[in-house]
Structures are given as C-alpha cells and as structure tokens.
C-alpha cells in the first residue's frame, strides 16, 4: 500500500518562489485555461508545447521534480486503463499479428491512447503544481473571489469555497490516517501486498471500517469547532491577509491567455 504515501495532490509545500507568490485567482484562471487547452489540442507538437510550459512552471515553483512526479505515479493505473481502451477499441489499420481473436490492436489506437494518457498525465501535473504552491486557505479565498458575481443570484459562494477548502485539506489528512491504519493492521498480520487481486481487495476491508469511523469523527469535531468560533452560513467575514493582484499576476495571465489563443488556433 505504498502508493498511498506517494499521493501529493491536495498537499501544500510552503515556499517563497515566484509561483508561491502569485495570487490564487491567477492560479485558478491559469489552471482553467490550461485544462481547456490540454483537452482541446489534437497534435503532439501542441502537446509538447504544453509540456514545455509545465516544466517552466515547475522550474519557477522551486519544487523538486522527483517529488512532483512521484505523487502522480499513483495514478499510473488510470493512464494505463485509458490508453488500453483506446488501443483495442479504436478502429484503424491493425498491427502485425493482429487481430488475435476478439482483440485488435491498431496503429490509430496506439497513437490515440498515448495522446489521451499524456493529456490526463499533464492535467494532474498542472493541478498538483497549483495545490503544492497554494495553501488551502488561499485556494478558498481565490475561489470565493472568482465566484463573487454569483452572489447576485443568491448562490452561497462563501459556503462553497469553504467546502472546497475543507475537501482539499482533508485529502492529505485522510491519506495519513489510512497509512496509520494500514501499519496497525500489518502489525496484526494482515498482508496487503501478496496474493491474488481478490484476496488483496478482501484484505482492504479491515481498513475501511476504522477509516470511515475516523472520517465521521473528524467531520463532527470540525463542525463543533466551527460552531464554537461563531461560524454562520452566509455570514459576512473578513480576512486577516487578503492577497492582492500585482504586476506579475497580470503578466502571467497575459502570457497564459496568449498561449491559450495560440494553441486553440493552431493546435485545436
């Protein structure tokens, strides 16, 4: 169960890099634009430009590339599953020695599967880069500011941003709790690494019950803490430190917007 220890999505690493200092609204808008481009482009050259942009962001973030990529390694099964679906279900010219029975591996499927897997891989990398350089409190603040126009339609923007922050904050907490339970069950003789797939799946049952108990207990403690601090749904709240848009934020947004227009025009 080592893969649980490698997941970094939702974690935050404090720092003082260029990416850390950007306003959370800048990161949110940039991520949305990059996601649109990532799942819109149709050729490998445009995908290569996106990968280049990611490595530029990784360089200015001050994060270790091994740490970032190790966190995405846990999603390898998703990339392989998606790629295999395209390998065998996309019509086109068959590879040598295919079809074999009902299995037919095509050149078009290989290209499409590799491209879609690269899209998913890059999307998770961009998301990890944002969460690793932005605290959950800043994420909630940025989301609240971006959704503020919806208040005219009586949408509970503050509550939605609070729930988003808590959901992101709970990811590393629950992963740590799951690792603690796994270690405790391993000390009692439960084997999570060997045996058939169904046997390992059955061995996960001793984890689920205490994990759900811990989740509900933490949620109850959090609700009591919020009530004790006078939290009211829809209440007017202020922030001790409110991030401000600076020149670097407008520069980054202009660059990302220009890159998006270029990619959608020539790579879409």
**CB within 8 Å of 133: residues ≥ 6 apart:** 12, 13, 15, 17, 19, 20, 22, 27, 61, 63
Q: What is the distance between the alpha carbons of residues 183 and 171, in angstroms, rounded to a whole number?
A: 19
pLDDT single digits (tens) 208-221: 788 888 888 888 88
Confidence (pLDDT) at 81: 86
Q: Is the pLDDT of residue 97 over 80?
A: no
Confidence (pLDDT) at 238: 67
Q: What is the distance between the alpha carbons of residues 33 and 259, in angstroms, rounded to a whole number?
A: 9
The length of the chain is: 268
Mean pLDDT over the full length of the chain: 81
pLDDT single digits (tens) 119-153: 999 999 998 888 889 887 788 888 888 888 887 88
Q: Is the pLDDT of residue 48 over 60?
A: yes
The residue that leads in pLDDT, 62 or 201, is 62
Query: What are the CA-CA distances from residue 4 to residues 172, 174, 190, 199, 212 (Å)?
Result: 10, 10, 17, 19, 16
Neighbours of 43 (CB within 10 A): 11
Over residues 50-73, the mean pLDDT reads 88
Confidence (pLDDT) at 193: 67
Confidence (pLDDT) at 29: 92
């Amino acid at each position: 169960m080592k893969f649980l220890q490698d997941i970094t999505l939702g974690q935050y690493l404090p720092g003082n890099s260029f990416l850390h200092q950007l306003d959370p609204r800048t990161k949110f808008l940039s991520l949305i634009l990059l996601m649109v481009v990532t799942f819109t482009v149709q050729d490998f050259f445009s995908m290569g430009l996106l990968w280049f942009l990611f490595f530029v962001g990784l360089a200015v973030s001050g994060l270790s590339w091994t740490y970032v990529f190790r966190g995405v390694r846990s999603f390898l099964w998703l990339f392989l599953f998606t790629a295999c679906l395209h390998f065998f279900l996309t019509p086109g010219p068959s590879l040598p020695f295919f079809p074999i029975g009902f299995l037919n591996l095509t050149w078009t499927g290989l290209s499409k599967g590799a491209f879609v897997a690269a899209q998913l891989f890059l999307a998770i990398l961009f998301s990890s880069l944002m969460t690793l350089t932005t605290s959950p409190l800043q994420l909630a603040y940025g989301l609240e500011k971006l959704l503020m126009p919806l208040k005219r339609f009586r949408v509970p923007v503050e509550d939605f941003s609070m729930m988003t922050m808590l959901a992101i904050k709970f990811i590393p907490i629950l992963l740590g709790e799951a690792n603690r339970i796994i270690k405790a069950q391993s000390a009692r003789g439960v084997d999570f690494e060997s045996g058939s797939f169904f046997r390992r799946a059955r061995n996960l049952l001793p984890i689920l019950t205490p994990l759900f108990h811990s989740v509900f207990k933490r949620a109850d403690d959090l609700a009591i803490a919020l009530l004790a601090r006078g939290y009211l749904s829809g209440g007017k709240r202020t922030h001790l430190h409110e991030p401000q848009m600076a020149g670097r934020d407008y520069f980054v947004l202009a660059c990302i917007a220009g890159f998006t227009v270029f990619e959608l025009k020539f790579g879409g």
